[in-house]
Structure 1
């Protein structure tokens, strides 16, 4: 408010904002920080994915160590996440407008709060982008899987083969050059393995004895040879089941570790965004200019 020198006349500056009309939150600076953090994340993650896929060769059996790949990928993701959030927080702190001549401590706190808002907004936006990408990938994989399944079913209908995952084990037991129709026996044997899969994963002795008798009757093998075939098939089944359980446990443990690492990286990123926003606010107040980096041409 300004006072005119004319007696009895008071002139009010209507353009001057009041405390009630202004907000401590500078959303323009926050949105700018979110955009910058998201853009940096997308660029660096895409670059890292391209470099990582360049080192993978699916034509060789002995590929890179999955543990090494996981550690490198997690380290890269952690660095990208923290650096992008810090960049967005710094930009928000540098662009934020100070209000009401706050003290330095209060100004630092408000700058840091803007960095936290950048972190929260970029995290939510990143989650939305990730969910959308996962959904698109899942849709593409599902479409490819349905096409492959349809093609496989058409082949199976033409050849009389089965899509049962235990079909190969059943076929190894009933291989014969006699040319007899073993389809009913194969179907019954497949049911025995399916029941074992649904149960405790073991084929009982009674089922083994029955399978040996069925193999001997349909292939012309001696009882000992038929029993040896059944034992070999059951051994292969147990090994495959053990590998499947091991893979499932590895996938579960990897998911758990990944979730903890993601939570930890988000917390570290929040601290980094808070600190970077405060640093940007300090550079704003001190008119710090990086002339060597942003030189006018």
Structure 2
């Protein structure tokens, strides 16, 4: 059986409201997070970040020139990009944090240290919302920065494979065509007897000569491309190619074989240089990707700190 609440003198007076403690409890149970202020600050920070990034891209592209020795260097462009990203995070995060602190509700029952903590949390949450929104809009940019390090290894393997196969190939022997042509260069110091004998030979149909020349060139190109450029050319291939070179240039068999060996060594050196360049380019891309990721991390930390600090200023002005 429920007993009626006893009434005192104050509760029976006209116009007096009974204070049962429910109003105070409901006020304390209210949420300490002003999501509307956080969303407003995050949206403002994301919009300002986008504007500043677009401005930075425009300034960066205008400083790059296609002409040699004109415009900024790659080092200067990279340093300016890092500085601009940091400035963008600082300004945009400070703006978002300040708005989040200034637009939040006023906490009447909170102590000073609790208000400071809540303002800091509001600034941090506004920065988090802004960062997530910016990352969603700039997914391709973030992916290119993070994925650059992973692609560096593939660049090394791809560059080494291309270099080992003699780079690009076509029907005429590809990059080996130059070395094949050097094999058939006539030696001006060839002995006169060979030249005289060649002069006494009856003329041959030019079409037949061209067919034989093209066949020999294609054959030598196939031999060089089929061989493993990291190992010496087999002796039987050296002998056979030397015979073809001797027939075309008037050199002795020994001199022709020596020319084949020297030319093949030059081709191997060219392949090693191409592989070294590919590895150096891949390593440079890996280092650039790692540096960009580290500085992006630093700029985001600066943005989080600025947003949290600015929110405390905004909240202080809100309560003033």
Does the alignment reach a TM-score above 0.5?
Answer: yes
Match of 1:179 in 2: 214
The one of 225, 229, 237 equivalent to 1:190 is 225
Equivalent positions of 1:210-289 (< 5 A) are: 213=239, 215-216=241-242, 220=248, 222-286=256-320
C-alpha separation between the residues in 1 aligned to 2:12 and 2:218?
107
C-alpha separation between the residues in 2 aligned to 1:282 and 1:48?
33
C-alpha separation between the residues in 1 aligned to 2:98 and 2:237?
71
Q: Which has the larger radius of gyration?
A: 2
State yes or no: 1:51 paired with 2:59: yes
Match of 2:167 in 1: 165
State the 1:228 CA deviation.
2.9
Classify the secondary structure of the residue corresponding to 1:280: helix
Post-superposition Cα deviations, 1:148-182, rounded to whole Å, max 9, x if no partner, equal xxxxxxxxxxxxxxx97243431222225833254
Match of 2:106 in 1: 98
State yes or no: 1:114 paired with 2:119: no
Give the TM-score of the pair, scaled to structure 2: 0.67
Larger deviation, residues 86-95 vs 210-219:
210-219
Structure 1 residues 209, 70: closer, same or farther in 2, change over 3 A? farther
Match of 2:139 in 1: 131
C-alpha separation between the residues in 2 aligned to 1:6 and 1:225?
121
Post-superposition Cα deviations, 1:241-293, rounded to whole Å, max 9, x if no partner, equal 1111111111111111222222222222111111011011112222xxxxxxx
Which residues of structure 1 form unaligned runs of 5+?
A: 137-162, 197-202, 287-297
CA contact under 8 A between 1:169 and 1:237: conserved in structure 2? no
Classify the secondary structure of the residue corresponding to 2:109: coil
C-alpha separation between the residues in 2 aligned to 1:172 and 1:71?
42
Larger deviation, residues 259-268 vs 23-32:
259-268
Structure 1 residues 213, 36: closer, same or farther in 2, change over 3 A? farther
CA contact under 8 A between 1:208 and 1:230: conserved in structure 2? no
Match of 1:155 in 2: none
CA contact under 8 A between 1:4 and 1:11: conserved in structure 2? no
Structure 1 residues 224, 129: closer, same or farther in 2, change over 3 A? same
CA contact under 8 A between 2:166 and 2:176: conserved in structure 1? no
* Coordinate RMSD, CA, aligned: 3.4
Equivalent pairs, count: 250
Which residues of structure 2 form unaligned runs of 5+?
A: 1-9, 145-164, 185-209, 250-255
CA contact under 8 A between 1:89 and 1:273: conserved in structure 2? yes
CA contact under 8 A between 2:106 and 2:319: conserved in structure 1? no
C-alpha separation between the residues in 1 aligned to 2:312 and 2:63?
40
State yes or no: 1:207 paired with 2:233: yes
CA contact under 8 A between 1:37 and 1:87: conserved in structure 2? yes
C-alpha separation between the residues in 2 aligned to 1:73 and 1:28?
33
Classify the secondary structure of the residue corresponding to 1:19: helix
